[in-house]
Amino acid sequence: MNENLFTPFTTPTLLELPVVVPIILFPTLLLPTSKYLINNRLITIQQKLVQLILKQMMVIHNTKGQTWSLMLMSLIIFIASTNFLGLLPYSFTATTQLSMNLAMAIPLWAGTVITGLRFKTKSSLAHFLPQGTPTPLIPALVIIETISLFIQPMALAVRLTANITAGHLLMHLIGSATLALLTISLLATSLTLVLLVMLTILEMAVALIQAYVFTLLVSLYLHDNT
Amino acid sequence: MPCVLLGDCSVGIFSHSSVSVPVKDKKLLEVKLGELPSWILMRDFSPSGILGAFQRGYYRYYNKYINVRKGSISGITMVLACYVLFNYCISYKHLKHERLRKYH
């Protein structure tokens, strides 16, 4: 029981070859592109969704911030599609690995901070001290603000990892509990089954929301710094 | 002169099975069973050949199910079903131990 609880999170291997990279690249197969203005039904649906998300996310930024639209749109589509594919049975979700989330979070956060320091040095350094603090508190507050700045990428990565991993684990546990209760008591089985169905719906929402939150926070850090 | 009078019929006389297609260029369903080993050995197994085979397979599926005017959900669902099967095959080694048996 203990060993097979975490085997969905191990590196998938095919004949002892790690097959992680094709699995990470698999969502690209599901997102077709087109060079025409008017497309078939599937591509039009997808393009309309992307435009909806684009308008929602990038309207708060100024011109300089909107140069990041391609990056942020790719980010949210990648995270959302990877999370959704992880809800299929037996699949491996790349966003459960902390290494990958850190690799996404740290460069993006560092990019926003360095942009802010390069172009608006005074104003981005001024973020370290909130307005109207009493004078004796200033040293302590600067230290606290610095720590809170450096914790941002860690929080981004760990939030995504923990949410998706916890969701998958919970579904696994409640699923095996339902199976085990089948022979003991039918009422308990049906109750756990209802719980499982609701959890699956929650997981679908979480998949989307986590992608949204990740991208939103990166865009907020960007907004502060442009 | 006879060619002009006959018109398209002359084409019908010359496209006889005496001009046969070489084994290398036949499609799989047209290869006879005895020729199968030689057909397999004559395929292009270089990296660019394998890449070309993947590309042809991808575009064959794409143009049949996705790139149509009113694509339906079945085009994507088939891909996802194959993905689930693929992942099952990969994790079979771990799943073997989760069967409901008395002795594993």
The tens digit of pLDDT for each residue in A37-62 reads: 888 888 999 999 999 989 888 888 88
Q: Which residues of chain A have a CB within 8 Å of the CB of B84?
A: 88-91
B57, B49 contact by CB (below 8 A)? no
If phi over 0 gives left and psi between -120 and 50 gives alpha, with beta otherwise, what is residue A141?
alpha
| Three-class secondary structure of residue A120 per DSSP | coil
List the 71-100 stretch of A: residues with Cβ below 8 A of B: 85, 88-92
CA dihedral of A91, A92, A94, A97, whole degrees rounded to 10: 140
Identify the band that residue B78 occupies on the pLDDT scale cut at 50, 70 and 90.
Answer: very high
Please judge whether B71 and A7 are an interchain contact, meaning their C-beta atoms are less than 8 angstroms apart.
Answer: no
Token pair in block for residue A30: 């599901």
Token pair in block for residue A200: 């699956």
Q: What does the pLDDT read at residue A225?
A: 67
Q: What does the pLDDT read at residue A50?
A: 92
Identity (one letter) of the amino acid at B16?
Answer: H
- pLDDT tens across B52-66, in order? 888 888 888 888 888
Beta strands in chain A (DSSP E): 13-14, 17-18
Q: How many CB atoms lie within 10 A of CB A26?
A: 19
Q: Which residues contact B66 (CB under 8 A, 6 or more apart)?
A: A32, A40, A42, B75, B76
Of A95, A71, A83, the closest CA to residue A9 belongs to: A95
Q: What does the pLDDT read at residue A47?
A: 92
Identify the band that residue A2 occupies on the pLDDT scale cut at 50, 70 and 90.
Answer: low
Q: What does the pLDDT read at residue B7?
A: 47
Nearest CA in chain B to A45: B71
- pLDDT tens across A54-100, in order? 988 888 888 888 888 888 888 889 998 999 898 888 888 888 899 99
Please judge whether B91 and A19 are an interchain contact, meaning their C-beta atoms are less than 8 angstroms apart.
Answer: no
Closest Cα of chain A to B92: distance in Å?
10
Q: Which residues of chain A have a CB within 8 Å of the CB of B87?
A: 12, 88-92
Nearest CA in chain A to B67: A40
Q: What does the pLDDT read at residue A216?
A: 76
Task: For residues A129-140, give the mean pLDDT.
Answer: 81
B102 has a pLDDT exceeding 80: no
Beta strands in A70-143 (DSSP E): none
Q: What does the pLDDT read at residue B84?
A: 94
Please judge whether A40 and B69 are an interchain contact, meaning their C-beta atoms are less than 8 angstroms apart.
Answer: yes
Q: What does the pLDDT read at residue A220?
A: 74
Q: Where are the domains of chain A?
A: 7-224
How many whole angstroms separate alpha carbon A128 and alpha carbon A126? 5
List the 112-141 stretch of A: residues with Cβ below 8 A of B: none
Terminal Cα-to-Cα distance of chain B (whole angstroms): 83
Is the pTM for the entire model greater than 0.90? no
DSSP-assigned letter for residue B30: G
* Mean pLDDT score of chain A: 84
Token pair in block for residue B102: 């008395």
| Three-class secondary structure of residue B68 per DSSP | coil
A–B CB contacts, 8 A cutoff, strictly below = 53
Q: Which residues of chain A have a CB within 8 Å of the CB of B83?
A: 26, 85, 88, 91
A128 has a pLDDT exceeding 60: yes
